[in-house]
Amino acid sequence: MSWIKPEGTTKGINVYNSLTKSKVPFVTKSNKITWYCCGPTVYDAAHMGHARNYVSTDISRRVLRDYFGYDIEFVQNVTDVDDKIIVRARQNHLFEHFSSTTSVTDAKRTLQKAWPVYADSKLPGTILDTIAPVSADTPASEKVHRAALYDAKTALELSDADKDKFYELAHDVLVFYLDKTQGSTITDSSIFRKLAAYWENDFNKDMAALNVLPPTAVTRVSEYMPEIVTFVEEIVKKGYGYEVDGTVYFDTVAFDAADGHTYVKLQPESKGQQALIEEGEGTLSAKGPKRHPNDFALWKSSKPGEPFWDSPWGKGRPGWHIECSAMASDILGPNIDIHSGGIDLAFPHHDNELAQSEACFDCPQWINYFLHTGHLHIEGQKMSKSLKNFITIKDGLKKYSARQIRLVFIMQQWSKPLDFKESLLSEVRAVESAFTKFFTNVQSLLRERADKADSPTRVEKDELELFKKLDEARVAVHDALCDNLSTPSAITVLLDLIQNVNIYLKSATNPGLSAITDIARYITRMLDVFGLNFNDDRIGWTSTSTGDVGAFNKEEVVLPYVKALSSFRDSIRSIAMNDGSTKDILKLCDEMRDITLPKLGIGLDDRKDAAALIKFLSEDEIADLLKQREEKARVEAEKAQKKEAARLKAQKLLEEKKEKAKTKPEDMFKTEEFSQWDDKGIPTHNKDGEEISKSQRKKLVKQWEIQSQLHNEFYNKSE
């Protein structure tokens, strides 16, 4: 069935709707948007793929709320009941108990049993004696399991005294075996909630670090069991669900055959792909008979070792897809404006959500707009632990700032794939630097102008042109955001506007600041809209009471600056009292500008025929400036070192030359090698009394002349 355009009002926005595979007008019943976002399954650390989805969604949410002025009710779930959580919690619990109570000797016996069980399940045909370490030729699909098996083999060869190393290497194979053989014995259901609570809190910290707005409402699966059971009952009652051995399945054939309904709206090309369907059902799902392979679980019968809740079909727990339908609808109703999530969830998760919700409410359209964020790749490859390119959000924040990560997602269209690569990060750093330098320059100019009572206020022609550029930019940014919330295009417009300001400042002898100020405020507002000003989602207004203003120790704040000024004065005074040169004073001024002030967060830009422009620097600017100064000092030190080395070499040569020059030319040949000399001391006969040959005599005369010249160069004046 085709998409039904909602009735209501529009603000000229078109969004890419996965239900139509095209951009369509965004229409709402009123100024309020109802929005459901698929939240995390909390069993492990959030990674950059999660960041891509939740930050991109947050940016779109902020644009619709803060730029277009919509009121948004934003609901996001937490999946705290799931097969992945159950397996991970059992494995952690069993491993902790086993490793704390079992000696390495006994643990090795268990590991010898575990090794073939793991191998038969993950890499059939693998033999302990022949397992080799992972290499570049190992298929990506095998790397994780082959590494686990090789590590386990290595663990078996360790000394029993190396307990910590043994359990580190044996972990993956042991936890698999322990869960397989003892998982069904777990009766303490608190271990599942404990694991989920830990990772939910960890996820929330990551989101806060990335400046992602918290949801209006958070729904946890464990807190919505009555509503989920009621939702399933309604589907069964309407003939779209059936029970088999305590598990309730959704009847995809019956639903697809009903008037007004279509099964698989988002990715019809994926319909019937059993690998995706089985992955969506979970590793612990019963393999009982279904009416059709495409049918999926609404309610699962729980086996021993799994958490359970009471239901009309016995003890069990919800299927993955039903939770979102029940919780979203409980708060937002039977028709929701926006549903968002990663494109990897489109089938079967979102398609199944649509089917079961439209079955429950017997409606043709549960969601009006499905907004899917594009895939994230790392340097052109899918993120995977086997490829060793798996980046958690915390790892990412160690290398990049939260603002830089947000800029990555702002500069790439939310609905398209994104390749997270170093070249893109370099571009992001350049963009961040452009904005930072712009704001620093404007603040400095405003501060400088505030100190001049007679500053001109007349708006000249070139400043009027700048006002025109601002008007054009406002229109261009608006058009960009109306076109599928295109933040990349909007950012490009803002950067072009900064370039226009820079051109104006270079050409104007006495620039007016009215247009520049308006531009800076506009750009600041837009960056606020994109969530780039952190910790600015405050409640209430800032205090202006006398008691609060100055609620700091002024002496502590001022002291570092006074020390710098006092030290500078002392040095200038010393130079003056010792008849120092102008060069010494200028060197001191450069040190003040390049070293002392940047460490205090102050930058000075020298200007021709004008006072230096004072800037207050951000931490990043301080670090960059000090790095530049250090590099400059390093280059100058190298240059000085080379110059000194050359001087010492020249001095050594000079000293050697002077030492050689000490010998008078008439004495230089007075050796046993010769027996007679002329009046200049040049040999005429060799030691045997034989006359020197003409050619030899010629050489000796040449040597005498050189020595004579050398001797005279150093000693003739003194002699």
Average pLDDT along the chain? 91
Q: Is pLDDT above 70 for 581?
A: yes
pLDDT band per the 50, 70, 90 thresholds, residue 326: very high
Q: Residue 717: its pLDDT value, please?
A: 56
To the nearest whole percent, how much of the chain has pLDDT over 70?
95
Average pLDDT over residues 572-589: 84
pLDDT band per the 50, 70, 90 thresholds, residue 1: low
Q: Residue 212: its pLDDT value, please?
A: 98
Query: Which among 290, 283, 306, 294 has a CA at the least distance from the CA of 255?
Result: 294
Q: Lowest-pLDDT range, 226-235, 410-419, 504-513?
A: 504-513
Q: Is pLDDT above 70 for 385?
A: no
Q: Is pLDDT above 50 for 296?
A: yes
Q: For residues 44 and 687, which has the higher predicted lDDT (pLDDT)?
A: 44
Q: Residue 709: its pLDDT value, please?
A: 86
Domain range summary for the chain, segments of one domain joined by +: 84-193, 430-529, 554-617, 662-715
Q: Is pLDDT above 50 for 361?
A: yes
Which option is the CATH number for 430-529: 1.10.3430, 1.20.120, 2.40.160, 3.30.2320? 1.20.120
Q: Is pLDDT above 80 for 277?
A: yes
Kindly report, residue by residue over 519-531, the tens digit of the pLDDT.
999 999 999 999 9
- The DSSP 8-state label assigned to residue 55 in this structure reads H
| Cα–Cα distance for residue pair 80/223, rounded to 1 Å | 9
Q: For residues 305 and 626, which has the higher predicted lDDT (pLDDT)?
A: 305
Tokens in use for 278? 């089985």
What count of other Cβ atoms lies within 10 Å of the Cβ of residue 308?
Answer: 16
Query: Which among 235, 485, 481 has a CA at the least distance from the CA of 369?
Result: 485
User: Which residues, including other chains, have CB under 8 Å from residue 325's CB and lie 6 or more apart?
Assistant: 231, 353, 356, 357, 360, 366
Collapsing DSSP states into helix, strand and coil, what is residue 209? helix
Q: Residue 719: its pLDDT value, please?
A: 47
Kindly report, residue by residue over 47-98, the tens digit of the pLDDT.
999 999 999 999 999 999 999 999 999 999 999 999 999 999 999 999 999 9
- The DSSP 8-state label assigned to residue 540 in this structure reads S
My answer on whether omega of the bond before 268 falls inside 30° of 0, hence cis, is no
Q: Residue 550: its pLDDT value, please?
A: 45
- Cβ pair 95, 178 in contact under 8 A: yes
To the nearest whole percent, how much of the chain has pLDDT over 90?
66
- Cβ pair 100, 240 in contact under 8 A: no
- Cβ pair 123, 114 in contact under 8 A: no
Q: Residue 386: its pLDDT value, please?
A: 61
Question: Strand locations in 122-274, DSSP E?
Answer: 217-220, 241-244, 247-250
Kindly report, residue by residue over 168-218, the tens digit of the pLDDT.
999 999 999 999 999 999 999 999 999 999 999 999 999 999 999 999 999
Tokens in use for 549? 């203003």
What H or E segment, with its residue span, contains residue 713? helix 694-715
Q: Residue 455: its pLDDT value, please?
A: 67
181-to-83, 634, 655 alpha-carbon distances in Å = 17, 64, 88
| Cα–Cα distance for residue pair 620/555, rounded to 1 Å | 26
Query: Which among 714, 698, 707 has a CA at the least distance from the CA of 669?
Result: 707
Question: Strand locations in 71-215, DSSP E?
Answer: 71-78
| Cα–Cα distance for residue pair 175/583, rounded to 1 Å | 73
Average pLDDT over residues 404-427: 96
Average pLDDT over residues 451-467: 80
pLDDT band per the 50, 70, 90 thresholds, residue 556: low
Q: Is pLDDT above 50 for 302?
A: yes
pLDDT band per the 50, 70, 90 thresholds, residue 456: low
Q: Lowest-pLDDT range, 71-85, 146-160, 537-551?
A: 537-551
Q: Residue 671: its pLDDT value, please?
A: 85
